[in-house]
Copies of this chain bind each other. A is one copy, B any other.
Amino acid sequence: MERVTDISSLRKRLRKETSIAFVPTMGNLHEGHLSLVRTAKQYADCTVVSIFVNQLQFSPTEDYNKYPRTLEKDCALLKDINADVVFIPNEKILYPETQEFLLMLPPVAHILEGKYRPGFFRGVTTVVLKLFNIIQPQKAIFGKKDYQQLYIVDKMIKQLNLPVKIIACDTVRMHDGLAQSSRNCYLNENQRSESIRLYQTLYQIKKSVEDGNDNFKMLQDNAIKNMIQHNWKVDYITIRQRSTLEPAVFNENNNNLIVLGAAWLDDIRLIDNIEIHT
């Protein structure tokens, strides 16, 4: 496995490759990331993983500075599963000057995560676009854990005619259901045992809808009330159409729903989602 830190060396290294699959990450790798890399390896001769904590997608009040950085451990894990190239640019490599060309995004980037994290998707899409242009992969692997991000990146690819195909991977969970996330390392023991309530809540909603409950408003309101009673601060828990991420309207033919949630346990923000099959 090769570590590359600058763009021209990376381009040179990749020039001879005929098929490249790319996994963008911010490091602090867990089983979720590793499953993306294993998937990547099925789709191309050369698997490139980037590790870059992208300040552009953090708001000033967010955890950019304390975001977990575990580079040596990450590289050991990637070597174990035979990633081919790890691209580890620093800030000056990706942003040698103030980034002034940014993307304007559609309304779907201003709901859900976009509403609670203004600037997040602009930062994500801009760095993903730059990384695509640097690496020129045929495939890019994204996890469903960040469902809206996956949705928006896929839309960007279509609207900008990027020669990349997205492969979406299922969320990897702990034994008790908690979605794997780099931010889980912030959880203390008590928070860790409470943390599964978000997944359990979304799962109950999924089950209720699959069992025929079509009172989405009541399901959502009860779920939020229950979370609040257990001292969570809820940004949203909401049933949406997968094709648009707009609020779901019950319809017998609708087998295309998803329940998404974002909530705070003390000062730790967790997100999760589950697809609904009706």
Contact = CB atoms under 8 A, between A and B. Distances in A.
A104 B102 contact: yes
A228 interface: no
A7 B161 CA distance: 9
A125 B100 CA distance: 13
A-side interface size class: 20 to 34
B159 A101 contact: yes
Nearest to A125: B101
A183 interface: no
30 contacts: A7-B161, A11-B163, A97-B159, A99-B159, A100-B104, A100-B105, A100-B106, A100-B107, A100-B159, A101-B103, A101-B104, A101-B105, A101-B106, A101-B125, A101-B155, A101-B156, A101-B159, A101-B160, A102-B103, A102-B104, A103-B103, A103-B104, A104-B104, A129-B160, A130-B160, A133-B160, A133-B161, A133-B162, A133-B163, A136-B163
Q: State the oligomeric state as a number of copies.
A: 2
Nearest to A134: B161
A114 B221 CA distance: 49
Contacts of A163: 11, 133-134, 136
Interface string A173-184: 000000000000
Interface of A: 7, 11, 97, 99-107, 125, 129-130, 133-134, 136, 155-156, 159-163
Nearest to A130: B161
Contacts of A160: 101, 129-130, 133
A20 to B, nearest CB: 13
Contacts of A159: 97, 99-101
Nearest to A106: B100
Nearest to A97: B159
Nearest to A136: B163
Contacts of A107: 100
A183 B102 CA distance: 31
A130 to B, nearest CB: 5
Nearest to A107: B100
A130 B156 CA distance: 11
A163 to B, nearest CB: 6
Closest 9 CB pairs of A and B: A100-B106, A101-B159, A133-B161, A102-B104, A130-B161, A134-B161, A133-B162, A104-B104, A101-B156
Nearest to A101: B159
Contacts of A133: 160-163
A161 B6 CA distance: 12
